[in-house]
A and B are shown apart, each in its own frame.
Chain A
Amino acid sequence: MTSSRRAGRRPLSLVLLLAGTCGLLAQSAAVAKGPPVEYNRDIRPILSNNCFKCHGPDAKERQAGLRLDVREEALKPAESGRRAIVPGKLSSSNLVRRILSSRDPYRMPPPSSNKKLTAAQKELLQRWIEEGAEYQPHWSLIPPRRPALSKVADASWPRNGLDRFVLAGLESRGWKPSPEADRTTLIRRVTLDLTGLPPTPAEVNAFLADTCPDAYEHLVDRLLASPHHGERMALDWLDLARYADTHGFHLDSGRDMWRWRDWVIGAFNKNMPFDQFTIEQIAGDLLPGATLSQKVASGFNRNHMINFEGGAIPQEYHNAYVVDRVNTTTTVWLGATFACAQCHDHKYDPFTQKDYYRFYAFFYNLPENGLDGSKGNAAPFVKAPTLAQQQRLDTLAVAITQAEQRLKDPVVQKDAAEVKRVTEALAKLRQRRAEVDKQIPTTMVMQEMLQARETFLLLRGQYDKRGEKVTPAVPASLPPLPSGAPANRLGLAKWLVDRGNPLTARVAVNRFWQSFFGVGLVKTSEDFGSQGEPPSHPELLDWLAVEFVDSGWDVKHIVRLIMTSATYREASAVAPEVYARDPENRLLGRGGRIRLPAEYLRDQALAVSGLLEREVGGASVFPYQPPGLWRELTERGDSRNWSAQFYVQSHGRDLYRRGMYTFWKRTSPPPSLLTFDAPDRESCTVRRSRTNTPLQALVLMNDPTYVEASRKLAERLMKEAKTTDERIVLALRLTTARKPSAEELAVLRRVYEQQLAVYRKDHQAALKLLGVGESKRDEKLDAAELASWAVIANVVLNLDETVTTG
């Protein structure tokens, strides 16, 4: 914890690490005499959190004519004539007098702010002024450059560049990385992380038997090529894009955006470069000769909630939609809390309210209605046939043309019987085409009006209080649009992925990191601004960001780098005291051990039981849900006039699709998924919470999905293994990939035998348990035995190890 031992260039990352690891300790670490005070590391967080609100970028809120976020302003005399900061001169700096004062309204920050400086913070501010009060641009606004790889003592540990930065961080604390996880743990962890599904025992065996030195790399490559990898990557994106199957406001009726959802899965599976991925989603419709697929992609910014509540005022909601687009786009690509500038200049970051509405202008020019969506998708939308539908249409088109040609043939025209036959056939073909046509889903898209709407700054963010007229532009504190780029959404999209943009690549790689380690290098993955947390490993973040851009925005390349690193492969089993020194694992001294996201928990249970339907994409489905949940919230006399008002449960294979395909009603999201922290998808979510509650236990024990999965898993155990012990081993291998210890075996054997005695006596109870779920029971298997194995299966599905990545 003593940063004073190190001199030179290292302390920066060290103190940042401390700051990231444990906010409270950071202050005491930084105050130690030694390394010079650094604005970004030491001072900005203090000023931002305590002073900028009244003495920062927001001109309207600024008090006493004092602005502290810009050096030349801070050195000027304030309204009082006194100077807050006189570099090198503590006694002349009014700021010092004010923060040290014990008199109440005089002391800064004032009591009304509910903020208080610690002694350490006061000392840092003084040292900073003493040393000349130098400022630095905020770290995230300086374009990343590829840093040199860190020097490390243990050169044998790193497997790639990434590991060098991690190891340097650990070594600077005198810590060592954990040893590599055993291969069983590794294949389970990497398979779950890359596909959201567990490995099969055969896959585990094959990996264990693979003596090739790069067996693990081959495994990663196989998983990256799986169609389920696209699903896994898409799930995080759906949270960001606030994807749902209903409009969200008021009656919350249905919409169709699953063609867009499937586009995302496909893009990840094709490894579409992230710049193209960005451009098509922001402005696919504006690309020259835009394809249907590119138009579908532009639906990203139509996923926001839409209203048609009777009596609502259209302009008010139209404004809400545009605001949502601006906030989501800036959060997802820039990691910016731009939303703060909707009503006033940003209080912490250099974004003015005018910046906000100039950005708003990019998204204001759609031919859309303020109130819409009562009959499904809101304009503008396009028909987006699936591949199968398109093939069918193409075939029909050929047949129809042939029939039409035939009728024009003079020879045929003389044959009345033939004319009648062909005419009838043609009618049938056309009818079939109409039928297919009716089935084709639509999907909402972006579109530009020929005559652009005029955009105005909205005073205090109110939809009906117009201020000055503005034209589209990117925030003035960020680089300008690339030369030649038009001032429209397409130009904006290109700007987002321009090499000069300091944020996009960092924000994106940080989220990939978060996906696989649970916490980003920047923990506040939604906020790279002044109030966000600085990165735990700033150089690593920049190295990855530059690598991302240099690779041609190759997503799989970055994911592969992470997955094949020594850091990712570390064991997660550590002694409690090792755990306690870094509970959030910000220094990455051990492997991630993360409770599976809601959807993958369900997928895993379905997969190990053999119930899972692996089809990728398609319309959303309606698995088991306790009856009445929607009705209690929304039923009314006219409910039949709207869609998505009644939950009509699916049957057959649609009961067993992956969790991400469950119909997402915003005002009543799927309850079991919600219990495991799935968001409601009302707005952009960058980080899900990861809670641990008793309601989760109830879901895993009693939700029919899991009870049925337990029964099917039991059937599998009975069919695929012979003895009691073999069956227990298989149960553990399916769910945790590993074999049980003798102790575990003994526990489960005991539970099984006791349970069997119960069900032997009470056959009816066994049959009742086996009756849960719509899948057929294998009647050849003894009911008492099967029910007892279902109990064991349920135990195994509830293990901590099963629900975490390990």
Chain B
Amino acid sequence: MNLDREYRLLFTRRQLFGRAAAGIGTVALASLLNDRLFAAGAGAAPATHFAAKAKRVIYLFMSGGPSHIDLFDYKPKLKDYHGTELPASVRMGQRVTGMTAGQKSFPCVAPMFKFAQHGKCGAWVSELLPNIASVVDDLAIVKSLHTEAINHDPAITCIQTGHQLPGRPSLGAWLSYGLGNESQSLPAFVVMISQGSGNKTDQPLFSRLWGAGFLPSEHQGVRFRSGSGDPVLYLSNPPGLDDATRRRMLDGVGQLNKLASRSFGDPEINTRIAQYEMASRMQSSVPELTDLSKESKKTLEMYGVDETGRDGGFARNCLLARRMAERGVRFVQLFHRGWDQHSSLPGQIRGQCRDVDRASAALVRDLKQRGMLDDTLVIWGGEFGRTVYSQGALTKTDYGRDHHGRCFTLWLAGGGIKGGISYGETDDYCYNIVKDPVHIHDFNATLLHCLGLDHTKLTFKFQGRDFRLTDVHGNVVKELLA
């Protein structure tokens, strides 16, 4: 029950610290406090509702809305419909975005790319994703995701927070709150961003996508950045201040804080003492984590880590995600920008696929060969799909597609998910779902299920109401579970 959770958060832990501070030395205290780093307050005890199949999640988010039609949802009949008007019986007067609402004609577009069947399961995958195609037997491809949102901001906010408007906690924050942190020196929830090469008018991202909403702010995602600066903001000592000096300072701060804790009965002081030690530990654990020099050449090649940065940093982030998973980070959220192909789709999507194909597949394969795929859930997908009809003019070599929330494709692998399956069906136009629809709430409920959480029980009371990631909706899609 929520009250119990809050009670634990507020009192028990603090009393524990209080006693600990009085009774034992700093080293033992620090080890007691380890799991409080960042976000363990609410997850002090293993808080799953039932046995978890997945211990952690790596979410490869394709921001902008990849075209399910050109990548996964193969519809041979589209060839026949190519260039013909989308029948009103299919569109059924559904709302479209303001960008195409004024269009006089809605000509269907068959993908320009070849599809073939792969693996034992025989899943159809576009030629743009040869590497992902090679691991399809590990994937559950869901073709019937759907959302009410038709624009980026509400759609991405909805898939990441369960609500179209801002204000709710993000998925990772819910997990941090629900499960706590299993790392001793890294945050529970990490976010990494890479830039797509396909589209120069990429859709923006917002910090609310990894925000804590109304949960305590310690659950917000911590951004890891690439490039010349600190991987974690303010991680490095200032110039001219070496590690020995930092240690001296930390000892000074620690000793003075200990004196203060003697005069105040406030256990927050002991928590702060421990947090400074954690910060110090992070100063060495993060550089160790982000240093890829110990990775074999083979591994670097498998991911396609590209020092020129042509992939926008995606491959490096995938490899880092695996390293984080190894080190106990609960939720690693990658965002790859650039999937919003309103026009020039063929050229742009080639670039986007080149960015992500190799590393996405490598991540699945790498986790598997290390025996980690069983308890790591990997997710790949965007906030919505794209329309079967062309946005703007349809030419021999070019077309664009508008946003489409009525159906889109996303895949999962590992941690409690059945591999080598395809779930849900759309009609011949890739426009409406004809079988087994999966709403974002159902998807999120399933995701929580894999982590041992009942989505109806993971609640936080705010403004008088028990809020959930899935609001009052969501059903676990049992067919996806291993």
Contacts and interface: CB of A to CB of B under 8 A. Distances in A.
Interface of A: 22-24, 114, 116, 248-252, 305, 307, 309-314, 320, 331, 337, 339-340, 347-349, 371, 524, 526-527, 529-532, 572-580, 583-584, 593, 595, 626-628, 632-638, 666-669, 671-672, 674-675, 677, 680, 682-683, 688-689, 691-699, 701-704, 707, 741, 743-744, 747-748, 751, 754-755, 758, 764-772, 787, 791, 794-795, 798-801, 804
Contact of B260 (A22, A314, A704, A799): A799
Nearest to B403: A311
B151 to A, nearest CB: 5
Contacts of B267: 576, 579, 583
B56 to A, nearest CB: 20
Interface centre among B95, B151, B208 (most CB of A within 10 A): B151
5 contacts: A340-B464, A674-B207, A694-B279, A767-B240, A801-B256
B206 A574 contact: no
Top 8 nearest A-B pairs by Cβ distance?
A531-B464, A768-B240, A769-B240, A311-B97, A579-B265, A637-B200, A697-B279, A667-B206
A313 B153 CA distance: 12
Contact of B282 (A576, A694, A747, A794): A694
B93 interface: no
Contacts of A331: 463
Contact of B207 (A572, A627, A680): A680
Interface stretch (B9-17, B106-114, B124-132, B413-421): B9-17
B457 interface: yes
B140 to A, nearest CB: 28
Nearest to A630: B204
A636 B202 contact: yes
A632 B195 contact: yes
B252 interface: yes
Contact of A635 (B202, B207, B235, B238): B202
Given A573-B265, A633-B193, A800-B269, A702 B237 contact: yes
B196 to A, nearest CB: 10
Contact of A312 (B151, B256, B266): B151
Contact of B211 (A572, A593, A675, A680): A680
Contact of A707 (B154, B238, B464): B238
B7 A23 contact: yes
B76 interface: no
B233 interface: yes
Interface of B: 1, 3-4, 6-7, 10-11, 14-15, 18, 21-22, 37-38, 95, 97-100, 150-154, 165-167, 187, 193, 195, 200-208, 211-212, 216-218, 220, 222, 225, 227, 229-230, 232-242, 244-246, 248-249, 251-253, 255-257, 259-261, 263-269, 271-273, 275-276, 278-279, 282-283, 402-403, 456-457, 459, 461, 463-465
Given A669-B207, A787-B240, A697 B266 contact: no
Given A675-B233, A682-B208, A768-B239, 12 more contacts: A312-B98, A532-B464, A579-B266, A580-B15, A626-B229, A626-B234, A667-B205, A692-B272, A694-B38, A697-B278, A697-B279, A699-B233
A249 B153 contact: yes
A769 B240 CA distance: 5
A703 B232 CA distance: 12
B263 A573 contact: yes
A716 B473 CA distance: 60
A641 to B, nearest CB: 10
A689 B14 CA distance: 16
A371 B257 CA distance: 52
Given A313-B98, A531-B465, A572-B266, A704 B245 contact: no
Nearest to A116: B1
A24 B235 CA distance: 40
B240 A771 contact: yes
A529 B464 CA distance: 8
B252 A694 contact: no
Contacts of B260: 799-801
B241 A791 contact: yes
B456 A114 contact: yes
A575 B266 CA distance: 8
Contact of A691 (B217, B237, B402): B217
Interface centre among B18, B99, B167, B271 (most CB of A within 10 A): B167
A477 B24 CA distance: 57
Contacts of B255: 747
Contacts of B261: 800
A101 B403 CA distance: 52
A632 B403 CA distance: 23
Contacts of B216: 689, 691
Contacts of B461: 531
A250 B266 contact: no
Contacts of B227: 628
Contacts of B37: 693-694
B184 to A, nearest CB: 11
A371 B238 CA distance: 45
Contacts of B166: 248, 305, 680, 682-683
